Amino acid sequence: MYDGLKGFRDFYPAEMGPRREVIDTLEATAKRYGFREIGTPAMERTEMYVDKSGEGIVEELYAFEDKGGRDVSLTPELTPTVARMVVAKQQELSKPIKWVSTRPFWRYEQVQQGRFREFYQTNVDIFGSAEPDADAEVLAFAADALTNLGLTSAEFEFRVSHRDILGGLLEAFDADVDTREAIRAVDKSEKIDDDEYHDLLVAAGLSYDQAAEFDDLLDTDEENLDELIEFAGTDRVEAAVTNLQNVLDVADDFGAREYCTLSLETARGLDYYTGVVFECFDATGEVSRSVFGGGRYDDLIESFGGQPTPAVGVAPGLAPLSLLLQRAGVWPDEGFTTDYYVLQVGDTREVAAGITRELRERGHVVETDLSDRSFGGQLNYADSVDAETVVIVGEQDLEDDAVTVKDMASGDQQQVPLTEFPGDHDRPTFDDF
């Protein structure tokens, strides 16, 4: 007996059915927005992640040397991969490029609620538009996907921010600030206490008084964003505030504004984010961590050797999303049932197989005996797979040129002429006879 690896999960049918329904809903929503599906490899060169995040990232990767002596890693995220793909065919692709994919990723990190070492995400990205409409469309897709899954505005919120507001405010202080480390501190602020948070800001270059002032600035509400422009006195913050307000205005037109809350404490820890960023949270607070996030990363394509190409995306993760759906009571049921079970009694396989094929050709889920079970054993199996209708093909029935149709919910059954089943009925049941 072998145990599964920590952080890697098995999905039996009772769980895989709902997961498939969630994935199908996410992808169907993306399709209605015009996103086209792509497929991507499970491994990339490790240097691609090291170049973007430094040598320390290797500790978080499933990294190894392959048989050709290449340093490779199982992909921990999709964004660098799609950036590489855009660069490879940048001149051939019509802009904006709108892509979607659902697949597993791997990170060697601490396993906790909603976080595993192998995890699944649906990634939705737009390349080639710097307009607020692109950011707003990503927000609208995410909102539609969640409402299509049965959630309401009372169940979730998008906390929206802008990386240039954060960076511009930090630049306004008379201090030698490591902006990258300060923004990472902001990203952690919800998970740590105030003293630890301020210590991280001080370590990034602010004084304790400046850290407290910076923290107060991040509490500014949407009606008072002009105060941030006045404090910073820079074009960078003014442009960022204008851009953020424009994105929220377009999100209103797209029907997503009601789900958005200004939250300058939202930073997104990855270094490649450049503009509007957002994270989805359980509005009740019962799911304590971010459900998923996204944002703009306008510099990444160029850093991969391509032409300057603005980009924005979002990546709902199935594990944390399932926590939100379960908390809200809208996690799908297993959903997979058997329409027909064709039960064989005696030497009737040829006729039973013909009925089975004909019902399947009409698009129904049909099972039949594969294990030479008794009549009772087959009936018990049909009940275990929630078969709606059992078609009994017995030797005595065939002597009468008939089959017996049994409704499993009521237990009622009757004999039906073989020529009439399935006959002209698209989905024949007991009630049709």
Length of the chain: 433
Ligand-binding site membership of 159 (annotated): no
Ligand-binding site membership of 273 (annotated): yes
Ligand-binding site membership of 121 (annotated): yes
Residues 107 and 8 sit within 8 Å (Cβ to Cβ): no
Ligand-binding site membership of 77 (annotated): yes
- Give the closest residue to 44 by CA, choosing from 13, 8, 14, 84: 84
Both tokens of residue 152? 């309401």
Alpha helices (H) in 5-45, listed in sequence order: 13-32
- Give the closest residue to 210 by CA, choosing from 164, 181, 177, 186: 177
Ligand-binding site membership of 396 (annotated): no
CB proximity list for 223: less than 8 A, separation 6 or greater: none
What does the alpha-carbon distance between residue 152 and residue 195 come to, in Å, rounded to a whole number?
36
Sign of CA dihedral 23, 25, 26, 30: positive
Residue reference for tokens 């509400």? 221
Both tokens of residue 126? 């737009």
- Give the closest residue to 303 by CA, choosing from 92, 91, 49: 49
- Nearest-5° angle of CA 107, CA 13, CA 362? 125
Both tokens of residue 349? 């396989």
Strand (E) or helix (H) holding 2:
none
What does the alpha-carbon distance between residue 266 and residue 320 come to, in Å, rounded to a whole number?
18
Residues 293 and 281 sit within 8 Å (Cβ to Cβ): no
Instruction: State the distance between the two ends of the chain, measured CA to CA, in whole angstroms.
Output: 51
- Nearest-5° angle of CA 90, CA 95, CA 99? 85
What does the alpha-carbon distance between residue 311 and residue 98 come to, in Å, rounded to a whole number?
10
> Annotated binding residues for L-histidine, as ranges?
77-79, 107, 121, 125, 268, 272-273
> Annotated binding residues, as ranges?
77-79, 107, 121, 125, 268, 272-273
